[in-house]
Structure 1
């Protein structure tokens, strides 16, 4: 990877400056060239046609990477930028303004790219090619809200059979509660099986923010696993009504298959023995915050720990190593910030779950490559 970066800066950039007749490449242009070069999204665009091969597929795929890098929110703004910015247009693959397709064609091609999951496949291939043999310390997991302008899908409530009051009769078996998604995932082995239980339909999400206030939104959630250097390794999209812990096992399972790491860092929303046992099964050490729920004993223990930490900080004494390790969980929060504020995922105007997931996947791909290069250089 380092050799490739050196070749880009010493050979590719001077050649591009001469060909494009520029005094210097801007920071954004250099960033886009590096991401396009490492992504190699063209390798995943295998379109087979009997008669006429579809045009502009590679160019449009590169344009959607540029949309994330330049933090452009809509396709219409992207087309306007391509028509006015000659350097960006040539980097994406079009020589003249007249060659740029219409907005409707951009929309049709993006739907194809979303169904084929081109961005997610490119992200997975980059991780396996460049990061597979790297050993990371931490894997932090968290979910971020994705508000959408869509009506939530009303879930049909199945009638829950109730047991009769009192002691059951001889030979009568009482009804058992339906197992949760997390309990069902324990017996599964593949990530695909685990995700089959997770709905991607638009729902209503309720979450408590860092200030303790309750937030309600309509849309979905993006569940991210990020390792050292703020590098997102795995990301899955779900409906807003899906609990964070329901996607914890597939995230850990997929991330451990792609890279090697030591610690699983998660907040109180993932407080479950099922998640801890699964992490240990994968030869990792789980560090998960305790959720007191309605237990007064747990609340008192947490308050005591916080008081001890404050005393240790005042006296400049060394704290528990677990506290230091758990504080590294902020890396996944920074990934959420990069994704929304710097890589075009702040406001999403698409409606279908596949398209929304594809927009987020293009952002995750760009963040992953950018942070990997930043960590190296």
Structure 2
């Protein structure tokens, strides 16, 4: 973790004072944004989305990736609300690379860029690179595993009804009657498969989720469920 500590000290001692000379006084969330972006190698990860010399020149995907991070930090739910916030807040807009409010892209541009990032698995690739760089050669002493609900405004996908097997007669089966084959659950199958096979088998559509809260009561929501494995230092290593 020494590399992370060195980066943190550089951010605290050098980067924040330099930014405060150029910007208005930084808020706590703006400092949080600077810390996160400083840890990520965004220019390297977003260069594949840049304009390749054909067609209309694209808006900077680096700036749009920074806006994607800001949307999460500020917990802004919609793209339209993000655009309004960027146009109204000079500091946060300039930190993303847009000096003027008129330079903030339109909602369709944001949507196209976010769709590209999702299809290209940009967040997953950045996270994988960070874990390999800062934690790859170190032994994790503890892993804390938990899940959290992600509510969504989508409609849950209708799941196909499970096909009912042939009805069997009540009572004990005959000795010469073949036993019904056991259908293994997804968790039981995962041990003998590769990571890619397990990930591709996980459901990714919007659904109705249920889990027990800290008091033992069941809660239900429409959306998704996120599972996280965190090592010492509250660092998420898998999701």
TM-score band, normalised by shorter chain: 0.7 to 0.9
Q: Structure 1 residues 28, 164: CA separation in 2 closer, same or farther (over 3 Å shift)? A: closer
The answer to whether the 8 A contact 1:168-1:174 is kept is no
- Cα RMSD, aligned residues only: 2.2
- SS of the residue 2:140 aligns to: strand
After TM superposition, the structure 1 stretch with the greater mean CA deviation from structure 2, 155-164 or 212-221, is 155-164
- SS of the residue 2:95 aligns to: helix
Aligned match of 2:8: 5
Higher relative contact order (CA 8 A, sep 6+): 1
- Identify, as 1 or 2, the structure richer in helix: 1
Aligned match of 1:37: 38
Q: Structure 1 residues 4, 140: CA separation in 2 closer, same or farther (over 3 Å shift)? A: closer
- SS of the residue 1:196 aligns to: helix
**Structure 2 residue ranges without an equivalent (≥5):** none
Aligned match of 1:184: 189
The answer to whether the 8 A contact 1:127-1:233 is kept is yes
Q: Structure 1 residues 219, 7: CA separation in 2 closer, same or farther (over 3 Å shift)? A: closer
- SS of the residue 1:207 aligns to: strand
How far apart are residue 5 of structure 1 and its match? 2.9
The answer to whether the 8 A contact 2:148-2:225 is kept is yes
Picking from 222, 226, 229, the partner of 2:233 is 229
How far apart are residue 50 of structure 1 and its match? 4.9
Q: Structure 1 residues 114, 98: CA separation in 2 closer, same or farther (over 3 Å shift)? A: same
Picking from 128, 146, 153, the partner of 2:150 is 146
The answer to whether the 8 A contact 1:161-1:175 is kept is no
- CA distance in structure 1 between the partners assigned to 2:206 and 2:58 by the alignment: 32
How far apart are residue 168 of structure 1 and its match? 5.7
Aligned match of 1:250: none
How far apart are residue 163 of structure 1 and its match? 6.6
Query: How many residues are matched?
Result: 230
The answer to whether the 8 A contact 2:59-2:105 is kept is no
Q: Structure 1 residues 11, 217: CA separation in 2 closer, same or farther (over 3 Å shift)? A: closer
Picking from 197, 202, 206, the partner of 2:206 is 202
**Structure 1 residue ranges without an equivalent (≥5):** 236-377
- SS of the residue 1:223 aligns to: strand
Aligned match of 1:137: 141
- CA distance in structure 2 between the partners assigned to 1:137 and 1:94 by the alignment: 43
How far apart are residue 16 of structure 1 and its match? 2.4
- CA distance in structure 1 between the partners assigned to 2:6 and 2:192 by the alignment: 44
Please tell me whether residue 167 in structure 1 is matched to residue 169 in structure 2: no
How far apart are residue 124 of structure 1 and its match? 1.4
- What TM-score, normalized by structure 1, do the two folds share? 0.56
Q: Structure 1 residues 34, 164: CA separation in 2 closer, same or farther (over 3 Å shift)? A: closer
